Structure 1
Amino acid sequence: METKNLCAQIPIDLHQKVSDEREKKGITTSQYVTEILEEFYRMKEAKPMTKDTRTLALQISEELFERIKDHLQKTGMKQKDFIIGLILEALEDEEHNETNEVEAM
């Protein structure tokens, strides 16, 4: 991939945050800034919310996040599709269990 340099002056406290996070991930500054910018543009390009949609957000451990990221790369799935699939599967299982309990009575 062809690359080009991007240089910007940022506040010292923000630079420290970037350095700390980059070190935690064990990646280069270029990799970290690329990751942040790609995420920003993915969010910006996402479909806008309508009155029929809601946002579901949660925090997970870095370890779990990396496991999910690896799984998504292996399967080619998108994060949103993966999570919605898990939620729907759990809801359908619960509904199925409730139906079986009612029928057993």
Structure 2
Amino acid sequence: MPATKNLCAQISLDLHQKISEAREAAGLTTAQYITELLTEYFKMKENGGNITMTNNTTRTLAFQISEELFQRIKAHLECESARLGRKVTQREFVLGVIEGALNMAEPMDVDEGYVGPCEAQPEGGDTQPQEEGAPAALSA
């Protein structure tokens, strides 16, 4: 076990309450919880202020677009921000577009839950089961 040293600080009652609730929910001691918070903070600082997900629950999607499309998106974001009375980010916009397209393309089966694109059958379509490991036929 590494050597330890006590750290003591006066904080507001509101902040103390938030910390206590979060610590209890995490099932940690105060020392464990504060250690995790400070460790995450310094990792974030080392990463240029960006939060990194240690459990890989998010992925980065990056691509280049034309200047014309970028300007159209920028103008749209300005209009939406004015309409909504809050800043609409590029990330929020792109995620909304992607999720909307996927929701239209991937039907939901109310009784069974999510049906992915590979499991979805066209209405009235009789499809032959594919042999396991056999490549799918592509139509041009």
Q: TM-score, normalised by structure 2?
A: 0.38
Whose radius of gyration is greater, 1 or 2? 2
Q: Which has the higher contact order (CA 8 A, sep 6+)?
A: 1
- Greater share of residues in helix: 1
